[in-house]
Chains A and B, each alone.
Chain A
Amino acid sequence: MKINKTAESEKKSLGVYIHIPFCIKKCNYCDFLSFEKIPEEVQNSYFLALLREINIYSEYYGNNYYVDTVFIGGGTPSLVKESHVNDLISAVRNGFDVSENAEISVESNPNTLTEIGLKTYLKSGVNRLSIGAQSCDDKLLLYMGRIHSTGDFLSNYTLARDCGFQNINTDLMFGIPGQTTGIWIDTLEKIIQLKPEHISFYSLQLEEGTRFFSMYEEGSFKETDDETDRNMYHTAVEILKSSGYVHYEISNASKDGYQCKHNLKYWSMKDYLGIGLGAHSFIDGTRSSNVSNLEQYIRIGINNSIDKTSKGLSSTFTCWQHKNTKDENISDYLITVMRKTQGIELEDFRNRFGIELKQLYGSVIQKYRNLGLIEIVENRLRFTEEGIDLSNMVLAEFV
């Protein structure tokens, strides 16, 4: 298709995120951009719009970027017809060079996975499956408004393995009201027995606009106290480490070599392109985000008068964009890279920004080193175990 294909080696790498904002039912804690009960026709037009957006961006970036990660997230991507997922991946392959060993992930929820679906994913090149297990306690699952039981998860997990998925992530949550540390450990142990390659473990965050938040305002939602929450977190880290997982990001652990390459782009200031409703991009030092109104997004997608002459990240899907200043690049770098447990390579910082980190933030670093929140080990600046708990306090100094 493209006349002047540059060799992959000269291109820059790009992660592609594609957002599927559909769910059977909105979970009680969820403030992500997703909608329940969207009619199939609307979903179909949404996918047409997505394909349209992929095409447009491949024309902008296909010559200069190759894709080494694709992440189809949601919402519940496993909810929609598998052919849609296949179409999206094909569109990316059509528009971009996709490296052979590219990581291609699909997010899913238990009770939505089928043998046909999973096999289609594999055929399309999906090689990483993320399953939203959240908990192995049925009472808590019900409380959170999940649409599945622990049994549903276990059978879907086994199915995925049987179909041939060799890289599976499970999402877990802790700090749920009613969850004791004992219940949490029990969930962790059950999951670890399954030997998923990757485990994400998130502390429940009470967000405005969620069912939990209205319960909170009514007084019927009692937040887990910080003490318990942190205890659960550190217990998880300990158990995961002793079970052979590498704790590589605040809320993520994996078997060696199975870190999520796509998410690592967010935490390493690498370029990524967000496709779909409300998706965020970061390319060439410019951050941008797409419109978050579903109808509007679809309308833009099916409208043929898209201005093809405009350059860069200013397609009409975009509703906000911002070219980072050097200072903003530095602070974005610090607040994202510090999420990794390995922290910042001081040399990498110097190479990127032409200045020593200590020259910029010497006194801040000293202050929090003295407080035991951060440490410098092997030329890396990173959070201590305790520092992770209070990371915002430190990161706030960098913005």
Chain B
Amino acid sequence: MNSFQQNIRNFSIIAHIDHGKSTLADRIIENTGLVSNREMKEQFLDNMDLERERGITIKLQTTRLLYKAIDGQEYIFNLIDTPGHVDFTYEVSRSLAACEGALLIVDATQGVEAQTLANVYLALDENLEILPVINKIDLASARPEETILEIEDIIGIDAHDAPLISAKEGVGIVDVLEAVVKKVPSPKGDPKGKLKALIFDSYYDNYRGVVIYTRVFDGTIKRGDIIRLMNTKKKYEITEVGVYSPGPMPVSELSAGEVGYVCASIKQVADARVGDTITLENDPATEALPGYKKVQPMVYCGIYPSEGEKYENVKDALEKLQVNDAAFLFEPETSTALGFGFRCGFLGLLHMEIIVERLEREFDLGIITTSPSVIYKVIMNDGTTEMIQNPSNLPPLITIDHIEEPIVKADIMIPKEYVGSIMEICQERRGNMLHMEYITENRVSLHYEMPLNEVIYDFFDALKSKTRGYGSLDYEFIRYEKSNLVKLDILLNRELVDAFSMIVHESKAYYRGRFVCEKLKEIIPPHQFEIPIQASVGQKVIARETVKAYRKDVLAKCYGGDISRKRKLLEKQKEGKKRMRQFGTVEVPQEAFTAVLKYDENK
């Protein structure tokens, strides 16, 4: 091992949402002196507005820092940030694979959470050195000793000398940096060996094409190299090699142990998939780095231009997002109710929400999203299988032998006082309890098998609501399972609105149907005629509500020539109309589509 490699530390920070990951990253960057306070935006690593607002990291950021340690030597720190959500588990695992160590931040007021555990297991899978850090010790409710014991008990790693810090107040940051120097192993690997570099993230840049974040394990990569991506088998010429410090800074080469970026005129991120291995075309490695997986969307929904929005605008925006997000898929589809739109695939619900929000905010688009759906495996009478992610495409029942739905293993961590109510909501959602364990005296971990379609419906909202935000959830796909599923349709004024159709378990059809009818009744304004709202399964109506006809919408009097008053009233009325979507003769406010999906504690 050369001395250059000896002074490199590649590490990530893993934490549950809100445990202070981004704040600690900020402090580390400040303390290594690369960025002055003045230049720093709050929470440097979260560079999307949306991420800053939600306090979560979605896209990875990587920064190379120089740290002069107490031993007098200078160290290169490659801080690799990880997304903090279950939807992005694969991305997390790949960025962890690029490291030798991980800082595990645990909030001293909250203790270990489901997400913390999930990430720790990922880090253990990659054989990382895990450095626990106890954060938020400045808070009155902090209980650092207990937190240390919790880490040791639950995770089984030594935490007695974990730095006790307050990232917010800047307390204990040097301890963290010194721990990184002392405990995170320096990278190994032969700079003269055959090139093996891991793609752990990528993004699209208008000028340089796809920028690949990479960790070189063996060999050296430099400008002009002809590379091959070992899984997608594509060939490119390297146009730029560099590191982020914190902005892009070209360097002459990256060699074994280093982390940086490469550009190779790649058109979209789907061509440089996370987890793939870069090697040289002329002198290729014999086998790729392990762990590559082509990520598959788990959740689908329709995205349609809302009234007055152009189809082309939505299409352009989706294309732009896709260039940057290999996990996001879309294809055109048509709905009788909503017209031309797109069926979109996401890693999970959060991923979906983020894309939808970005379309609305960054691209300023008016869109309607339909009920999210999972992918159902439909086994036909003739033995063939169809994968269905749009309820409207479900073949006629008579041609179907049976339907299978995806089942996930859900790990739920909650304070013990909520066990009863959470077991109840799991049961309501067709959960099958595997086991339950007390993590500490007060905290419980529940392990369930649950259909994914229940999880994506409103489970997370219900969990948060029932536990006052203290519950956490992690889930992973385990298998497909035969299930008694039916297609629930909604009819407005006797016309089927396909955008409201959903596939539900037979036992849920009535409740869901009634809920949707009641919601729509609240939301759909009265028309001049009566509007029946019906939920049906097959030909059978299982729930019905009626929006009574509007009889009166008239101003008796204009006050002494005060036209502006009447005008304001009408303008307000018109504003409301703009958000309406016309289905046959019925006008439906656009929020109806989200409202029928929202968790309602009283229902």
Given A392-B569, A395-B570, A399-B567, the answer on whether A251 and B528 have CB atoms closer than 8 Å is no
Task: Pick the contact of A399: B555, B558, B574 (CB < 8 A).
Answer: B574
User: Is B577 a contact of A396 with CB atoms below 8 Å?
Assistant: yes
- The digit string for A358-399, where 1 denotes a CB below 8 A from any CB of B, is 000000000000010100000000000010111111011111
User: Is B564 a contact of A389 with CB atoms below 8 Å?
Assistant: no
- Cα distance A265–B564 in the bound complex, in angstroms: 15
Q: What total of A-B pairs shows CB separation below 8 Å?
A: 99
Q: Does A332 contact B (CB under 8 A)?
A: yes
Chain B nearest CB: distance from A355 CB in Å? 21
User: Is B554 a contact of A17 with CB atoms below 8 Å?
Assistant: no
Chain A, Cβ-Cβ closest to B568:
A399
Q: Does B438 contact A (CB under 8 A)?
A: no
Q: Does B553 contact A (CB under 8 A)?
A: yes
- The digit string for B359-375, where 1 denotes a CB below 8 A from any CB of A, is 00000000000000000
Chain B, Cβ-Cβ closest to A32:
B559
User: Is B528 a contact of A287 with CB atoms below 8 Å?
Assistant: no
Given A279-B560, A281-B561, A396-B577, the answer on whether A226 and B551 have CB atoms closer than 8 Å is yes
User: Is B528 a contact of A202 with CB atoms below 8 Å?
Assistant: no
Q: Does A266 contact B (CB under 8 A)?
A: yes
Chain B nearest CB: distance from A249 CB in Å? 10
Task: Pick the contact of A371: B528, B556, B557, B567 (CB < 8 A).
Answer: B528
Given A32-B559, A251-B556, A272-B561, the answer on whether A335 and B551 have CB atoms closer than 8 Å is no
- Cα distance A396–B577 in the bound complex, in angstroms: 9
User: Is A287 a contact of B563 with CB atoms below 8 Å?
Assistant: yes
Chain B, Cβ-Cβ closest to A390:
B553
Task: Pick the contact of A289: B550, B562, B571, B573 (CB < 8 A).
Answer: B562
User: Is B550 a contact of A282 with CB atoms below 8 Å?
Assistant: no
User: Is A251 a contact of B552 with CB atoms below 8 Å?
Assistant: no
User: Is A17 a contact of B557 with CB atoms below 8 Å?
Assistant: no
Q: Does B566 contact A (CB under 8 A)?
A: yes
Q: Does A274 contact B (CB under 8 A)?
A: yes
Chain A nearest CB: distance from B392 CB in Å? 28
Given A226-B551, A373-B528, A390-B528, the answer on whether A331 and B567 have CB atoms closer than 8 Å is yes
Task: Pick the contact of B574: A204, A280, A396 (CB < 8 A).
Answer: A396
User: Is B555 a contact of A392 with CB atoms below 8 Å?
Assistant: yes
Chain B, Cβ-Cβ closest to A227:
B551
User: Is B570 a contact of A396 with CB atoms below 8 Å?
Assistant: yes
- Cα distance A396–B562 in the bound complex, in angstroms: 17
Q: Does A52 contact B (CB under 8 A)?
A: no
Chain A nearest CB: distance from B547 CB in Å? 14
Given A371-B528, A393-B528, A397-B574, the answer on whether A289 and B564 have CB atoms closer than 8 Å is yes
Determine the interface band of chain A, counting residues with CB < 8 A from chain B: 35 or more
Q: What B residues does A227 contact at CB under 8 A?
A: 551
Q: Does A205 contact B (CB under 8 A)?
A: yes
CB neighbors of A among B238-281 (8 A):
none
User: Is B554 a contact of A390 with CB atoms below 8 Å?
Assistant: yes
- Cα distance A280–B564 in the bound complex, in angstroms: 9
Residue with the greatest number of chain B CB neighbours at <10 A, chosen from A32, A202, A371, A392: A392
- Cα distance A306–B555 in the bound complex, in angstroms: 37
Chain B, Cβ-Cβ closest to A399:
B570
Q: What A residues does B564 contact at CB under 8 A?
A: 280, 287, 289, 322
Q: What B residues does A272 contact at CB under 8 A?
A: 561
Task: Pick the contact of A73: B528, B553, B560 (CB < 8 A).
Answer: B560
Q: What B residues does A202 contact at CB under 8 A?
A: 556-557
Task: Pick the contact of A335: B556, B560, B563, B577 (CB < 8 A).
Answer: B563
Q: Does A235 contact B (CB under 8 A)?
A: no
- Cα distance A355–B552 in the bound complex, in angstroms: 32
Chain B nearest CB: distance from A343 CB in Å? 15
CB neighbors of B among A11-60 (8 A):
17, 19, 32
- Cα distance A336–B559 in the bound complex, in angstroms: 12
Chain A, Cβ-Cβ closest to B565:
A280
Given A289-B564, A332-B567, A373-B528, the answer on whether A391 and B558 have CB atoms closer than 8 Å is no
User: Is B561 a contact of A226 with CB atoms below 8 Å?
Assistant: no
Q: Does A230 contact B (CB under 8 A)?
A: yes
Q: What A residues does B558 contact at CB under 8 A?
A: 266-267, 336, 339
Q: What A residues does B571 contact at CB under 8 A?
A: 396, 399
User: Is A393 a contact of B567 with CB atoms below 8 Å?
Assistant: no
Chain A nearest CB: distance from B587 CB in Å? 10
Q: What A residues does B570 contact at CB under 8 A?
A: 335, 392, 395-396, 398-399
Q: What B residues does A332 contact at CB under 8 A?
A: 563, 567
Q: What B residues does A371 contact at CB under 8 A?
A: 528
User: Is A392 a contact of B573 with CB atoms below 8 Å?
Assistant: yes
Sample of 7 further A-B pairs with CB below 8 A, known A272-B561, A280-B561, A331-B567: A202-B556, A227-B551, A392-B555, A393-B550, A395-B570, A396-B570, A399-B574
Q: List 12 A-B contacts (CB under 8 A).
A: A203-B552, A205-B555, A280-B562, A332-B563, A335-B566, A390-B528, A392-B554, A392-B569, A396-B571, A396-B577, A397-B574, A399-B571
Binding site for B on A (CB under 8 A): 17, 19, 32, 73, 202-205, 226-227, 229-230, 250-251, 265-267, 272, 274, 279-282, 287, 289, 322, 331-332, 335-336, 339, 371, 373, 386, 388-393, 395-399
